[in-house]
A and B are shown apart, each in its own frame.
Chain A
Amino acid sequence: MSAGIRRILPQLLTLLAVVALITAFFPSFLSVEMVDGRLVGSAIDVLKRGAPVALLAVGMTLVIATGGIDLSVGAVMAICGAAGAWAISNDYPLVAALLIALAAGLACGLWNGVLVALVGIQPIVATLILMVAGRGIAQMITEGRILTFSHDGFAFFGSGTIFGVPTPVILWLAVGILFTLLVRRTALGLLIESVGINRRASALSGVNATVLLVFVYMASGICAAVAGIVATADIRGADANNAGLWLELDAILAVVIGGTSLLGGRFSIIASLIGAMIIQAIDTGILLAGFPSEYNLVIKAGLVVIILVLQSPRLSPRISAALSRRRKEPAPAGSATEARE
């Protein structure tokens, strides 16, 4: 088994278990059919509705890998959605509207990055500022109302399809793959992990930790911008109060379920994406299974607790030890001179 597969195996197994659980309650969960040239089904719905959290989780993974956190992503979604909606309703061309939204995301990320990396404010405090102020900025852009528009080109990013697959699904897959390639085909991933584990030692080895920190917050900002575009396009309107509300918490949860430590260090974007899908599958599954809606959050919390307990560093060695006892592995040969003090 390759190291890459082994890294995401717990998340894959969890997703399978959640899907199996939902299918047990709701047998047609996995059935997908083609209607009017677009794929339709509950599973497709999960992939689509999970798009904002998945997109946020990509940037959040990089931020958390440096030992930081970005609480502002939900508010940044609202800002970028509002900026895009404002541009499109003021008859800017589609490309310009998209670029304005993305630029707003980059600017928000730059602000966070500067506060964290240059000013030296703790990430949770630094991003809290924009988390609170961001919705205000978004409201100023929308002038306090829900800014609606009717532009099919912009709406395509929320409700359109490409070869039958909803655009948001394509978007989060594309952003996830793009960032994975960006960090793993270059040395960015290694340098981010090294800064996250030990910033002092990394800086002494010549790693430009400041620039890397600004980069990850900007990456988080642009991911939030794409998520904001999707959310806004989906409802054909910018809702400064509710767009992306609490989604930063789901994004952090997705990263945690994806096995990236909040202390920073080793990260996996793919595992975070699977984490986002686990969360969305739980959300959708609870609805489909017909539980009264007031039970949703409690059931979700219960499932999340179970998943995290199973993955916890204290418990998982025991579980794998129990598994390997059953398999009767031969004792690994190793040199006794190794440090085990």
Chain B
Amino acid sequence: MLLSIRGLTKSFPGTRALDGVSFDLRAGEIHALLGENGAGKSTLIKCLTGVYERDAGEILLDGRPVAPQSTHDAQTLGIGTVYQEVNLLPNLSVAENLTFGRQPSRAGLVQTRKMRAQAEEMLSGYGLDHVNVAQSLGAYSVAVQQIVAIARAVALSGKVLILDEPTASLDSAETEMLFSVVRDLRERGLGIIFVSHFLDQVFSLTDRLTVLRNGQHIVTAETAEVSRLDLIHHMLGHELEEAEHRRHATKTAQQSVLTFDGTGRRGKIAPFDLTVSRGEVIGMAGLLGSGRTETADMLFGRTPPDSGKAHDDDGPVSLRNPREAIAAGFGYAPEDRKTDGIIGELSVRENIALALQARRGWWRPLPRAEQRELAERYIERLDIRTSGAEKPVGELSGGNQQKVVLARWLAMNPRFLILDEPTRGIDVGAHAEILRLIGEVVESGMSILLISSELDELVAASDRIIVVRDREHVAELVGEDIETDAIVRAIAASDAPAAAPAAEVAR
């Protein structure tokens, strides 16, 4: 056994994050580490990489007990980690990143030629022959950066490689490229721990899997012998309702609440027409960078449109900045909830009350009792897992942070709510709850623009789906056409004039 963890325990004030967890990793295997947010995956990894000091238990590497005190320590021992956010320096060259901290030098001066040769050698075998190591790392795609990070980790450590959500910001081609690298590394005899929320990837890539739940070890099994349903069962501890509620069968034309005519912004998204009906969910599909988020940012006035106009029954609607959009009854839960959504150090209560307070104006504070009542109501309604309304929201898990952002907007009772990747990076349970919530609020008449890269989710939740490609709205699917294959076809369709969906745009 390459790596063996026995009875690992780690507590934080108020929480036992890991409770006697055991975990084995063989040489030459890819081992998935799974669990909901808060299950203890990250804590386990941080104990392995020396970020946290464990309270109890032992870690055996090649049969010898180890106790890494820092990430550097862990690297020297042979445990390397690559995180979702690449932790390299984009402004340095690829070669400098690869050899960082141990550049070949003579008399204190870096020997650039030798460094580049070393870097090229480190990169060989990763299929990155087109990469110029003298070029700055930031010039390459996230996938290439990710692989450079892996090459560096493998060269430094070489026994255990931990991949923490490596595919979260990659598209499917990039993911496949990364996977072939990971498979090669398995052939070379590395033990690889793979953390991901994408179950498809777990099934296609990994040999074995281990599920944690609430800090406890639930199961370890051969991936091939586990069914998807069983896996979800292990992760959740309760059966996920199999039958997804499909509401898009037939919906008759409804009263429209908002109309956008030729709305667009040069360099961001080509002008498009869109009519939003009361109580409908408009799905938006497309690859990363295709113009999904750009559409959302524009509709909410963050990068205001430079063409077209929006109006409702009462007349024109101005969207020059978020405040105007909010005044028009819009809400927006952005894609990156850490930088654009939550106010980390403020409490759950303050985060929920923030938009409401901003609309009331600073001179009319929302009374503390009302804020608390509001927070308690949404904590209960959205099942936000927190020890209380006064806990800083930054200390919650990702799914719960997302629920807080949703609560902030639901408290405003907007008529048009834009949700950009509301379920990204959150666990299966919270995922289902958020979809259920979407169904619930549209019943009350709210309209939703749901942007997602999970096609199943779009198909399950949307009344119609807009497909964006190359910063243009290229297709709209309604009724029977809403199925994953049709979406994929629309995304993949070339710009041939025969592309039928193009006619739909100007609907």
Query: Is B206's CB within 8 Å of the partner chain A?
Result: no
Scoring B12, B357, B396, B397 by chain A CB atoms within 10 A of each residue's CB, the highest score goes to B357
Picked from A194, A205, A265, A337, the residue with its CB within 8 Å of the CB of B38 is A337
Q: How far is the CA of A266 from the CA of B344 in the complex (A)?
A: 11
Q: Does A31 contact B (CB under 8 A)?
A: no
- Minimal beta-carbon separation of A165 from chain B (angstroms): 32
Are B14 and A332 within 8 A (Cβ)? Answer: yes
Is A293 located at the chain interface by the 8 A CB criterion? no
Contact B395–A190 (Cβ < 8 Å): no
Contact check, A204 vs B396: say whether CB atoms are below 8 A apart: no
Q: Chain A contacts of B334 at CB under 8 A?
A: 204
Contact with A along B331-375 (1 / 0, CB 8 A): 010100001111111100010011101111111111000000000
Does B360 contact A187, Cβ atoms closer than 8 Å?
yes
Residues in B neighbouring A312, C-beta threshold 8 A? none
Q: How far is the CA of A190 from the CA of B352 in the complex (A)?
A: 12
CB-defined contacts of B408 to chain A, threshold 8 Å: 205
Partner of A338, one of B41, B344, B396: B396
Interface code B9-22, partner A: CB below 8 Å = 1, 0 otherwise? Answer: 00011111101000
Known: A206-B359, A338-B386. A201 touches B341 (CB 8 A): yes
**Measured between C-beta atoms, what is the minimum distance from A110 to chain B in Å?**
18
User: Across the interface, do A193 and B346 meet the contact criterion of CB distance under 8 Å?
Assistant: yes
Tell me whether B378 is interfacial, beta carbon within 8 Å: no
In the bound complex, residues from chain A placing their C-beta under 8 Å from that of B263 are none
Q: Which 7 A-B pairs have the closest CB atoms?
A: A334-B14, A339-B397, A341-B42, A206-B358, A340-B17, A187-B365, A206-B326
Q: How far is the CB of A324 from chain B (nearest CB, A)?
A: 10
Task: Give Cα A194–Cα B358 distance, bound, in whole angstroms.
Answer: 11
Given contacts A197-B346, A341-B42, contact A335 B354 (CB under 8 A): no
Q: Is B293 an interface residue (CB 8 A)?
A: no
Task: Digitize B375-413: 1 where CB-to-A-CB distance is under 8 Å, 0 elsewhere.
Answer: 000000000011100000001111010000000100000
Residues of A within 8 A of B340 (CB): 200-201, 204
C-alpha gap A334/B215 in the complex (Å): 13
- Could you list 20 A-B pairs, sorted by A, with CB under 8 Å? A187-B357, A187-B364, A187-B366, A190-B357, A191-B362, A194-B350, A201-B341, A202-B343, A202-B358, A204-B334, A206-B322, A206-B326, A208-B358, A266-B345, A334-B15, A337-B38, A338-B15, A339-B396, A339-B397, A340-B12
Chain A 53-70, CB-CB to B under 8 Å as 1, else 0, gives 000000000000000000
Q: How far is the CB of A163 from chain B (nearest CB, A)?
A: 33
**CA of A196 to CA of B13, assembled, Å:** 27
Residue of A nearest to B396 (CB): A339
**CB within 8 A of A187: which of B12, B362, B400?**
B362
Q: A186-B365, A336-B15, A336-B16 are contacts. A201–B342 as well, Cβ < 8 Å?
A: yes
Chain B residues in 8 Å Cβ range of A185: 365
Per-residue interface assignment for chain B, residues 33 to 45, with 1 indicating a CB less than 8 Å from any chain A CB and 0 otherwise: 0000111111100
Instruction: Say which residue of A205, A335, A337 sits within 8 Å of B358 (CB atoms).
Output: A205
CA distance A196 to B151 in the complex (A): 38
A211's closest neighbor in chain B, by CB? B362
Q: Does A198 contact B (CB under 8 A)?
A: yes
Interchain CB contact under 8 A, B15 and A340? yes
Residues of A within 8 A of B (CB): 185-188, 190-191, 193-194, 197-198, 200-208, 265-266, 332-341
Q: Which one, A188, A190, A265, A341, contacts B397 given CB within 8 A?
A: A341
Complex CA gap A208/B355 in Å reads 11
Q: Which residues of A contact B214 (CB under 8 A)?
A: 336-337
- Residue B323 CB within 8 A of the other chain: yes
- How many residue pairs link A and B with beta carbons under 8 A? The number is 125
Instruction: Report the nearest A residue to B302, measured CB to CB.
Output: A204
A334 touches B343 (CB 8 A): no
How near does chain A come to B239, taking the closest CB pair, in angstroms?
18
- Complex CA distance for A201 and B302, rounded to whole angstroms: 11
| Given the contacts A187-B360, A204-B300, A334-B15, A339 and B395 also touching, CB distance less than 8 Å | yes
Known: A198-B339, A200-B340, A201-B342. A186 touches B41 (CB 8 A): no
**How far, in whole Å, are A335 and B391 apart by their CA atoms in the complex?**
13
CB-nearest residue of chain A relative to B14? A334
Chain B contacts for A186, CB-based, 8 A: 362-365
| Nearest-neighbor residue (CB-CB) of A338 within chain B | B15
B344 contacts A198, C-beta separation under 8 Å: yes
A140 to B106, CA, bound (A): 58
Chain A residues closer than 8 Å to B14, beta-carbon distance? 332-335, 338
Which residues of A are found within 8 Å of B396, using beta-carbon distances? Answer: 338-339
**In contact, B360 and A190 (Cβ under 8 angstroms):** no
Q: Are A338 and B387 interface neighbours, CB within 8 A?
A: yes
* Contact residues in A for B357 (Cβ distance below 8 Å): 187, 190-191
Most A CB atoms within 10 A — which of B17, B358, B398, B400? B358
Determine whether the beta carbon of B322 is less than 8 Å from that of A203: yes
Q: With the chains together, A206 CA to B409 CA distance in Å?
A: 11
B342 touches A198 (CB 8 A): yes
The answer to whether B345 touches A197 (Cβ under 8 A) is yes
Please give me the residue from chain A that is nearest to B337 by CB atom: A201
By a CB distance below 8 angstroms, the chain A residues around B400 are 339
| Interface pair B358/A188, CB less than 8 Å apart | no
Q: How far is the CB of A210 from chain B (nearest CB, A)?
A: 10
Inter-subunit contact A205/B355 (CB<8 Å): yes
Q: Are the C-beta atoms of B354 and A205 separated by less than 8 Å?
A: yes
In the bound complex, how far is the Cα of B396 from the Cα of A266, in angstroms?
Answer: 18
How far apart sit A190 and B342, CA to CA, in the bound complex (Å)?
A: 14
B346:A335 contact, CB within 8 angstroms:
no
Contact B365 A338 (CB under 8 A): no
Please give, as numbers and ranges, the residues of chain A lying within 8 Å of B19 by CB-CB distance: 336
CB–CB A198/B343 < 8 A: yes
Bound complex: CA A200 to CA B332 (Å): 13
Other than the given A198-B343, A336-B15, 16 more pairs (CB < 8 A) read A186-B364, A187-B360, A190-B350, A191-B357, A193-B345, A201-B339, A205-B322, A334-B14, A334-B387, A335-B15, A338-B38, A338-B385, A338-B386, A338-B387, A341-B17, A341-B43
Partner of A194, one of B300, B341, B354: B354
Kindly state the separation between the CA atoms of A233 and B212 in the bound complex, as whole angstroms. Answer: 69
User: Measured between C-beta atoms, what is the minimum distance from A6 to chain B in Å?
Assistant: 13
Partner of B323, one of A194, A206, A266: A206
CA distance A191 to B346 in the complex (A): 10
Shortest C-beta distance, A204 to chain B (Å), equals 5
Contact assessment for B332 and A194 in the assembled complex, using a CB-CB cutoff below 8 Å: no
The CA of A338 and the CA of B355, in the complex, are separated in Å by: 25
Q: Flag if B344 contacts A340 (CB, 8 Å).
A: no
With both chains docked as a complex, state the minimum distance between the C-beta of A329 and any C-beta of chain B, in angstroms: 10
